[in-house]
Amino acid sequence: MQFIHMADTHLGYRQYGLSERENDFFEVFDQAIEEVVHERPEFVIHSGDLFEYSRPPTKALLTAQNGIFRLKNENIPIYAIAGNHDIVMRKNALPPQILYKDFGLKLISPKNSFYLEGEVFIGGAPYASKYNSKQLIERLQTIEKASLNHKKSILVLHQGIDRYIQEFEIKIGDIPQSFNYCAFGHIHERIVDDFGEGKLAYPGSTEIWRSNEFEGYKKNGKGFYLVDVGGDIPEIEKIDLKLPREFLKENIEYIQLQEEISRINSYIKNLSKKPILNLTVHGGNFSRSEVYEILNQAFSSTCLSLRSKYLPENIDQDLPDMGKGALDTKTMIKERLKDFNNEEVSELATGLLKEMSEGDYKRAEEMAKNFYEGLYDN
């Protein structure tokens, strides 16, 4: 019994505000569907964040529709949950995945918490914030009871766990251990772990969603898992996808700036698409604005996007010692908002800070709009 486990496709994400990056995410999704058809699994599980926004742009909706319809034509069922990006923060609102009910997608939700695919139990729940973790844990206990009479069982969630990340919604001890396979989404790095009677796995995102995923991509690739639950212990195979364009990360010394620019551009000219270049210049005493102008002139026509950092010598010699955590903006925001006695407001504020600091203003606008619509509906 083989199935595909994928997650975090984030269709509709216009990284750095670039339409080319939005199209890259579409291209990778189409490639993933082709690979699924090639592998001929019994079914597919998508563990959340099919879309970047709860109100996806038209092209994102059509891309998902075409892929899901392709799977239907190939008689490959797909089971999905809503991730935090898919969810409309409004009472009784439905995630966009519901649009594909007639195309063969089976949405795992509070109303339909599990399905049976032959002898395999597939149960789960949509994303829940840490402030709703108690309700999620109670729901997991109910799902576990329903699964106990089945030979094979799969749990599908879109959550961060304390074992793997600092900002988590649930603890590893809150997850039932009776499932053969725990199909998680939300963390964009690939993870496979022994857990209870089987395996717990994150397939990671299918594209580089943030620049800090670059190292993980170089080490483990991007794609999804082909899982076989026929034996006592699930067997997991990585299926890698070829990303449409390269992410380049370079750390160069100021004294060798011109030589390094020539070297990088010599490499870039052999690429089929303009890359994303993340560049750090360090060492020496230099003017950041002057180096910025030099880099912008050197790479403006060869790179799709240049993300640069500058670390001249003695950068902090005149700065006072503020103490550890003194400039922790997130902590400062939470402290400032504590008088409101509303954890959701605090979560919104820190979420907006994260998205806006990374340049994703559309996601920040979506978060704020959903939050305030939710207030009016309650």
From first to last of its 378 residues, the chain has per-residue pLDDT tens of 899 999 999 999 999 999 999 999 999 999 999 999 999 999 999 999 999 999 999 999 999 999 999 999 999 999 999 999 999 766 667 899 999 999 999 999 999 999 999 999 999 999 999 999 999 999 999 999 999 999 999 999 999 999 999 999 999 999 999 999 999 999 999 999 999 989 999 999 999 999 899 999 999 999 999 999 998 999 999 999 999 999 999 999 999 999 999 999 999 999 999 999 999 999 888 889 999 999 999 999 999 999 999 998 765 444 444 444 445 555 656 555 655 545 556 566 766 776 665 556 666 766 676 555 444 444
CA angle (127, 219, 275) in 5-degree steps: 90
Question: Structure pTM?
Answer: 0.83
pLDDT at 14: 95
pLDDT at 374: 45
Is residue 179 within 8 A of residue 147, CB to CB? The reply is yes
Sign of CA dihedral 326, 328, 329, 335: negative
CA distance 252 to 246: 19
Instruction: Please compute Rg for the chain using Cα positions.
Output: 22
Is residue 279 within 8 A of residue 309, CB to CB? The reply is yes
- Local structure of 181: helix, strand or coil: strand
CATH architecture of 2-240: 4-Layer Sandwich (3.60)
CA distance 66 to 81: 19
- Local structure of 124: helix, strand or coil: strand
Is there a catalytic annotation at residue 85?
Answer: yes
Selecting among 85, 158, 186, 188, the annotated active-site residue is: 85
- Tokens 């796995």 correspond to 201
List the strands of the sheet with 2-6, edge to edge.
105-107, 78-80, 43-46, 2-6, 223-228, 235-240
What H or E segment, with its residue span, contains residue 117?
strand 114-117
User: What phi and psi values does residue 367 have, to the nearest 5 degrees?
Assistant: -60, -45
CA distance 331 to 179: 37
pLDDT at 93: 76
User: What phi and psi values does residue 57 have, to the nearest 5 degrees?
Assistant: -65, 160
- Residue 266's CB is within 10 A of a number of other CB atoms, namely 9
